[in-house]
Chains A and B, each alone.
Chain A
């Protein structure tokens, strides 16, 4: 009995000590990955993923609490980059269903209050006081922050229209 207890105790202590030394020897900074992930995200702090800003999202990704497809404005490109960085395989099918959106101002409703372009994290809305506002398609991520800020519901989201340069063939057999 005594021999059993003693031998296992000694064994455990010895292995524990060895691992402790190894842990010190092979120590890595764990936080690098969060900064790297944040650099991959759009950085517009739109909060669509449900985390407080892109830094929060990066932390959640690093902890494995969020899927790589968490970023709607980033789309497939960002999801793939994140998946590559994290070394996981991304299930991009979930993203395929949500079409990329753009903000659009209904001119007859806009009163020129400037609230939306103060809310826009990417400066994608143009305008001045008492002037009808307009959206720059190239800069809009479709984050919908402006939609919530509009007092007259003049801002809405519309699917990104296809153009001759963005049009692509569909996948065969998936007409």
Chain B
């Protein structure tokens, strides 16, 4: 398979045999200037905003912190630190509704801004390209940079992996294929130089020679801005790609830009590439050039229910409600509030949930936009889902297995390859919630796996307990035997003495 992106534009579209083309709803929000959210009265900073172990707090309640100060440190190999989004006081460390469909609570630090927004002192290196690659990685890690496209995987871990396995190409994801979202578009238009610098820093950190930036061709302004910014740097190639959902999924973008395929159960690195989002590259630029950790991000606030939709720069920890309020509130009660894009984002249980590092958008969608209310009909086996699946799976068959309580059957059909893009649900003429089935089955399989692990660890505990009990019983018996032996020895000694005494007495008797 050739790299589609290197072919003439008129050929590209016909060579992509997957995906859907939803109405993108990106304009006019994408063309409006970015605004900055005024500091809210409270910020809720979750200790886990990333894939991996939650961060460990290093400040106490009542401490005064500066903007960018470390609040919680990375707690494991795969983890990321959390920094203060502004200067102020830590008023509480508690639990708070997570930006998650369940609405369950998670540990957060509550920061009360003092309004001064004072940065910590930073000492960025004069020439980061003179530093060893690992040092750049360390700075990225210390800045708490995670994948900003929504995956929230700690970026430094990826950079270290890229350096270790010596990937050849850095793929920069500027696809932004989700409808409504335009934060990456805006970032590339307004901060193209910063993004390109971040790309070059990432290249330096992994020791790769070439970066390919995939940008969907529905963003001509962003492409132009990026091409201009990248002109002096031949190693950064800007490659327009057809606008086709899910172009922004890493596996699909890798294939279109390089012609390589990520193997089953493998990672991008197995195909010799590494993927970073444009937002992440900009965060790397900020971390290395300015010494500033990731404390704010660009969020698209949009959806039919929002009065004044636009792109907003929000501090990490601002609530979704604060962003909606800034955009003049909601015109009508939304049918669904989504964090992320409408295809792959998570519905929020409450708008009290905070913006985190991976929040690309906050959408308040009306009933009309959600389009629900139609009940799922029977599968007519039209195979529309098969023809759009970007992973070449059989969604209808997998869903049939899951419906009849056989998630293992779906697993056999490649459920783990499903990227959850939702193309199948989107095209289904019977409105079958296919990707919901797959989310459910993935959860069920993961729960089974956890149960298996637990029962194994419990088996270990039980055997250890039995061994301990046996040992204790044995030791008790041995101690008892020893005491008995001692008692008997003492008795024997006493008897011998008595005997000797009698004998002596007898001799004395005889003598007398």
Contacts and interface: CB of A to CB of B under 8 A. Distances in A.
Q: Do chains A and B touch in the complex (CB under 8 A)?
A: yes
Given A76-B447, A78-B451, A164-B106, 16 more contacts: A42-B459, A43-B458, A44-B459, A45-B462, A74-B451, A77-B455, A123-B464, A139-B458, A162-B104, A164-B98, A167-B443, A168-B440, A168-B446, A169-B436, A169-B439, A171-B437
B40 interface: no
A122 B439 contact: no
7 contacts: A43-B459, A124-B461, A164-B98, A166-B447, A166-B450, A167-B100, A171-B437
B451 A164 contact: no
Contacts of A93: 405
Interface string B23-49: 000000000000000000000000010
Nearest to B451: A77
Contacts of B437: 171-172
Contacts of A156: none
A141 interface: yes
Contacts of B451: 74-78
A172 B407 CA distance: 13
A172 B376 contact: yes
Interface string A50-86: 0000000000000000000000011111101100000
A74 B48 CA distance: 30
Interface string B391-425: 00000000000100100000000000000000000
Interface of B: 48, 98, 100-102, 104, 106, 376, 402, 405, 433, 436-437, 439-440, 443-444, 446-452, 454-455, 457-459, 461-465
B436 A172 contact: yes
Contacts of B452: 77, 81
Given A122-B462, A123-B461, A141-B458, A173 B448 contact: no
Contacts of B101: 169
Nearest to B432: A172
Contacts of A172: 376, 433, 436-437, 440
A42 B405 contact: no
Contacts of B433: 172
Contacts of A78: 451, 455
Interface in A81-118: 81, 92-93
A170 interface: yes
A29 interface: no
Q: What are the 8 closest A-B residue pairs judged by CB atoms, nearest first?
A: A168-B443, A77-B451, A77-B452, A169-B439, A167-B102, A169-B440, A122-B461, A43-B462
A123 B465 contact: yes
A45 B457 CA distance: 15
A171 B406 CA distance: 12
Main secondary structure of the interface of B (DSSP, over half): helix
A175 B464 CA distance: 42
Nearest to B434: A172
A45 B455 CA distance: 13
Interface string A150-162: 0000000000001
A168 B447 contact: yes
A169 B465 CA distance: 37
A76 B408 CA distance: 13
A167 B444 CA distance: 10
A138 interface: yes
A77 B408 CA distance: 12
Contacts of A123: 461, 464-465
A167 B465 CA distance: 31
A122 B465 contact: yes
B457 A168 contact: no
Nearest to A93: B405
B100 A80 contact: no
Nearest to A139: B461
A139 to B, nearest CB: 6
B426 to A, nearest CB: 15
A44 B440 contact: no
A170 B402 CA distance: 12
Most buried by A among B98, B106, B451: B451
Nearest to A80: B448
B389 to A, nearest CB: 18
A103 to B, nearest CB: 13
Contact of A43 (B48, B98, B463): B463
Interface in A128-155: 138-139, 141
B443 A169 contact: yes
Most chain A CB within a 10 A radius of its CB, from B402, B446, B465: B465
A121 B433 CA distance: 44
Interface string A20-58: 000000000000000000000011110000000000000
A44 B458 contact: yes
Nearest to A141: B458
Contacts of B100: 164, 167
B180 to A, nearest CB: 22
A139 B464 CA distance: 13
B131 to A, nearest CB: 37
A93 to B, nearest CB: 7
B448 A163 contact: no
Contacts of B446: 168
